[in-house]
Amino acid sequence: MRKIIDWIEHRTGLETAVRNFLYEDIPASSGWHQIIGSAAVFFFIIQVFTGGLLAFNFAPTPGDSYNSVRYIMTELTGGRLIRGLHHWGASMMLIIVVLHMLQVFLYGAYKKPREATWMIGCVLLLITLVFGLTGYLLPWDNRAYWGTVVTANITGSAPVLGPYLTRLLGSEMGVSRVTFSRFYALHTILLPPLVIILIGIHIYLVRKHGVAPAVGDTAPRRKFFPEQVFKDTVGVAFAFIILFTLAVVADAPLGRLADPTDTAFTPRPEWYFLFLFQTIKFFKGPLEVVGAVVLPGVAVLTLFLVPFIDRGPMVRLGKRTFAFGIAILGILAWSSLTTAAVLTTPPNPEENGLAATSESETSIQAWQHLSPPELQGLALFRKENCKACHPGGGKQGIGPDLTKLPADHRNAAWLVPHFQNPSKVVPGSSMPPVQLKDAELNALSAFVLKLTPDNEGSIMSAPDYVVQGALVYQDNHCNSCHQVAGVGQKLGPALDGVGERHDRAWLEQHFRDPQGTSKGTIMPPYKFSAEDMDALCKYLLQLPKAS
Amino acid sequence: MEETHSHEPAVELSPTRRNFYILFINGAMGLIGIALAIPAAIYLLFPPKARKASQWVKTADLSSLPAGKPTEIAFQRTRADGWQLITEKTTAWVVKQSNNDVVAFMPNCTHLGCAYHWDDASHTFICPCHTSYFSIDGKVLGGPAPRPLDRYAVKIDSGVLEIGPPEAHA
């Protein structure tokens, strides 16, 4: 063994290099507060490792990326764990990086001659945030897509540079495949080497100037290894246990495939951006750019300039009152903004893209079994914003859980009068009357009666195009001749599974000229607006076969 | 390098303490390494959980197949290709000896996968790549093929031949 090491040492000098690195002198005052930086490096390594593993099975185009993430989560053994490590690792990495920065800030270790180290650290923080941002889009579920739409809009609102940034993001027509490719390239190809180089420079600079000693520390210096390395390892092990536990018990989220036409979805960024999301709400109209770009820009610039703002000599931690004040203020501001964001943003319906069986292309979702009147009911439910008081998903709302209605309420005879005049049917109710026509109230009640705790999540997440299509179907009284899901008349053929028999072009032609397309039919021609035709065709084409 | 490499004696650790630190460092990092390496290996090496791609495909009417003469039939099958279900056209060599005795051979030679064909004159399946040849019931008659022709599972349903998944080879 010794001979092999000697051979390597003689050819490369590796043993000496490692020895010099490990036996670096550090101040006697070094301690537990300085382990956070190593934890950050360690988490970066974990992200690269798990990210690389994910990239082995990831399809880098929008839409297909979603399928591949599903595949990783449900069909590959260990896939759920690897993705979990990567997802929770990203959040933990950000926390650790911020804690590291906080420690350096409080101790004043950014002061001369360590200003360059600090500024590179600031760049590293920003890049960590960009990693989070770019990675967020890649699964291409509703959460990813819509969160990025907001980010792209904010970027586009930047003064002067806005339009150029939009072009760089490929988002002139909204978040697009180009945006996806650029985010993927940044996340996997461009930023990793950049970060590795910057971490290298950062560590080099720490070594060059030495770990910052506490004020007045003149005690004999100690060696980095093994004592400080031991403390680093304890920190790393502790953080890793937390990460691994999270990855095992909590699924990394995967909602439903992104639907750019779904205007009902509330965009949310990742949790660490919620404070910014909330700040923007205070600045309405033309002032929005102040909250979205100017304030954050000023904050980041100030962060960079900290070593030039605070030029005084290093003082004891206990005397850093102003620094502590700023830090506490910052933490309070961030926490309250984040909490406000969480409390005030309406939740989205539970979107669990993993709930379906692994045959995602062939499995039938619960909402696909709804008849056209029931889907019309869902459209009305959304339009009337019933979920404001009946949030569903087991959550406590002002109104009762609609999946658990008592038996005597589970019929149209009770529900329709209740919609028309709630406080008369349920004395003391604060529910406002539902102002809809009778046929619409019937559809709404048919919909409500369909809900069970098991299918609620799927039904509530029925894509918008399906619901709109069902509305066109209902408005044109298609069920006076046709049947869907057992509802309707039998004058014309049942439409279940029509997508397996005919394609879009055939359907459109059939609406325009039924006699020419289907000889002998009594179906009259229909003139639809482009929007209605689109919605109706999409709705019909996804109808599952009759079970 | 400025202040770091001083040559004053640094604080010395007691040997037991030092050994404890080193043991802990190696142990903890070793465990972390294993906790990452094992899931990674499983993730990379275990096959994906089987998806129910349509296993059985209706192909030809039995009556259309000549008895005793291998016929190459083409059919569409869906199979899992990673995260997609793809529909692809594929072929099988079908030999019907009687209405109860039908075999469907997979179209790839068992040597290195080339497409073989039936040669009427020699009454054998011949592979052009390395001249393996097989009898009408798939047995290796010559050439480098290591085993008889692989087969698909077959079943007959109301006079129609259905081809299923590949059978495990002997």
What's residue B11's pLDDT? 58
Residue among B11, B25, B29 whose CB faces A220 most closely: B11
- Are A84 and A248 within 8 A, CB to CB? yes
Tell me how far apart the alpha carbons of residues A163 and A171 are, in angstroms, rounded to a whole number: 10
Model pLDDT for residues A119-151, shown as the tens digit of each residue: 999 999 999 999 999 999 999 998 999 999 988
Task: Tell me the percentage of chain A whose pLDDT exceeds 90.
Answer: 42
Residue A406 distance to chain B (closest CA, Å):
40
Burial class of A483 by CB neighbour count within 10 A (0 to 12, 13 to 18, 19+): buried
* Cross-chain Cβ contact A78/B39 below 8 Å: yes
Q: What separation in angstroms does the CA of A343 have from each of A181, A346, A347, A411, A524?
A: 34, 8, 9, 34, 52
Mean pLDDT calculated for residue range A433-456: 87
Report the residue of chain B nearest A358, measured CA to CA: B51
Where is mean pLDDT largest: A362-371, A459-468, B11-20, B102-111? B102-111
What's residue B52's pLDDT? 60
* Cross-chain Cβ contact B35/A230 below 8 Å: no
Query: What secondary structure, in 3-state letters, does A397-463 show?
Result: CCCCCHHHCCHHHCCHHHHHHHHHCHHHHCCCCCCCCCCCCHHHHHHHHHHHHHCCCCCHHHHHCCC
Query: What separation, in Å, do the N-terminal and C-terminal C-alpha atoms of chain A show?
Result: 69
B155, amino acid identity: K
Residue A54 distance to chain B (closest CA, Å):
10
Tell me how far apart the alpha carbons of residues A184 and A165 are, in angstroms, rounded to a whole number: 17
Of the candidate ranges A311-315, A332-336, A394-398, the one whose mean pLDDT is the lowest? A394-398
| Closest by CA position to A482, among listed A408, A546, A430 | A546
Burial class of A398 by CB neighbour count within 10 A (0 to 12, 13 to 18, 19+): exposed
Tell me how far apart the alpha carbons of residues B131 and B144 are, in angstroms, rounded to a whole number: 8
Residue among B10, B22, B51 whose CB faces A25 most closely: B10
Residue among A28, A46, A359 whose CB faces B51 most closely: A359
Written as one string, the DSSP assignment of A476-515 is TTGGGT-EETTEE-SSS---TTHHHH--HHHHHHHHH-HH
CB pairs under 8 A between A and B: 110
Considering only CB atoms, which chain A residues are within 8 Å of B1? Answer: 207-208
Report the residue of chain B nearest A57, measured CA to CA: B82
* Cross-chain Cβ contact A361/B85 below 8 Å: yes
What's residue B25's pLDDT? 96
Residue B65 distance to chain A (closest CA, Å):
29
What's residue A520's pLDDT? 81
pLDDT tops 60 at residue A473: yes
Considering only CB atoms, which chain B residues are within 8 Å of A48? Answer: none
- Are B48 and B83 within 8 A, CB to CB? no
| Residue A398: partners with Cβ closer than 8 Å, 6 or more residues away | A388, A389, A430
Tell me how far apart the alpha carbons of residues B153 and A375 are, in angstroms, rounded to a whole number: 44
Mean pLDDT calculated for residue range A348-377: 68
Written as one string, the DSSP assignment of A183-216 is HHHIIIIIHHHHHHHHHHHHHHHHHHH-SPPPTT
Tokens of A524: 């009259």
DSSP reduced 3-state for A353: coil
* Cross-chain Cβ contact A236/B48 below 8 Å: no
Task: Tell me the percentage of chain A whose pLDDT exceeds 70.
Answer: 97
* Cross-chain Cβ contact A53/B43 below 8 Å: yes
What's residue A113's pLDDT? 93
The size of chain A, in residues, is 547
* Cross-chain Cβ contact A78/B43 below 8 Å: yes
pLDDT tops 60 at residue B5: no
Model pLDDT for residues A424-434, shown as the tens digit of each residue: 888 888 888 88
Tell me how far apart the alpha carbons of residues A115 and A130 are, in angstroms, rounded to a whole number: 23
What's residue A530's pLDDT? 84
For β-strands A25-26 and B71-81, DSSP reports them as: unpaired
Tell me how far apart the alpha carbons of residues A350 and A394 are, in angstroms, rounded to a whole number: 10
User: Quick one: how many helices (H) and strands (E) in chain A?
Assistant: 25, 4
pLDDT tops 50 at residue B4: no
B85, amino acid identity: L
Considering only CB atoms, which chain A residues are within 8 Å of B16? Answer: none
Residues B162, B167, B170, CA angle at the centre, nearest 5°?
Answer: 145
Identify the sign of the CA torsion A154, A156, A162, A167.
positive
Considering only CB atoms, which chain B residues are within 8 Å of A46? Answer: 36
What's residue A367's pLDDT? 81
Residue among B8, B39, B52 whose CB faces A221 most closely: B8
Tokens of A421: 């005049």
Query: What secondary structure, in 3-state letters, does B12-47 show?
Result: CCCHHHHHHHHHHHHHHHHHHHHHHHHHHHHHHHCC
pLDDT tops 50 at residue A12: yes
Where is mean pLDDT largest: A60-74, A80-94, A510-524, B54-68? A80-94
The DSSP symbol for B134 reads: E
Q: Tell me how crowded residue B15 is: count the other CB atoms within 10 A of its CB.
A: 8
Tell me how far apart the alpha carbons of residues B6 and B12 are, in angstroms, rounded to a whole number: 15
What's residue B170's pLDDT? 57
b/e sequence A277-295, b meaning 16+ C-beta within 10 Å: bbbbeeeeeeebbbbbbeb
What's residue A383's pLDDT? 86
pLDDT tops 50 at residue A358: no
Give which of B45, B83, B85 to mutate to test A binding, by max A Cβ within 10 Å.
B83
* Cross-chain Cβ contact A359/B18 below 8 Å: no
Tell me how far apart the alpha carbons of residues A227 and A212 are, in angstroms, rounded to a whole number: 17
What's residue A360's pLDDT? 39
Tokens of A431: 């529910």
Nearest 10 degrees: CA dihedral of A331, A336, A337, A340?
Answer: 160
Residue among B4, B8, B44 whose CB faces A24 most closely: B4
Band of pLDDT at residue A359, cut at 50, 70 and 90 = very low
Residue among A24, A67, A74 whose CB faces B84 most closely: A67
Tell me how far apart the alpha carbons of residues A71 and B43 are, in angstroms, rounded to a whole number: 12
What's residue A350's pLDDT? 62
What's residue B165's pLDDT? 85
Residue B74 distance to chain A (closest CA, Å):
22
What's residue A409's pLDDT? 85
* Cross-chain Cβ contact B36/A49 below 8 Å: yes
Model pLDDT for residues B90-122, shown as the tens digit of each residue: 899 999 988 888 999 999 999 999 999 999 999
* Cross-chain Cβ contact B51/A210 below 8 Å: no
What's residue B51's pLDDT? 67
Tell me how far apart the alpha carbons of residues A247 and A86 are, in angstroms, rounded to a whole number: 8
* Cross-chain Cβ contact A230/B29 below 8 Å: no
DSSP reduced 3-state for A132: helix
List, in sequence order, every residue forming a beta bridge with A484; answer none if it has no partner: A487
Mean pLDDT calculated for residue range B65-83: 86
User: Kind and range of the H or E element at B104?
Assistant: strand B101-105
Which residue is it, tokens 């965009």?
A267
Residue B64 distance to chain A (closest CA, Å):
27
**Longest pairwise C-alpha distance within chain A:** 102
* Cross-chain Cβ contact A76/B46 below 8 Å: yes
* Cross-chain Cβ contact B83/A229 below 8 Å: no
Model pLDDT for residues A220-250, shown as the tens digit of each residue: 888 999 999 999 999 999 999 999 999 999 9
Considering only CB atoms, which chain B residues are within 8 Å of A233? Answer: 24-25, 28-29
Considering only CB atoms, which chain B residues are within 8 Å of A68? Answer: 82-83
Band of pLDDT at residue A73, cut at 50, 70 and 90 = very high
Where is mean pLDDT largest: A25-39, A115-129, A284-298, B62-76? A115-129
Helix intervals (H) in chain B = 15-45
Q: Average model confidence (pLDDT) for chain A?
A: 88
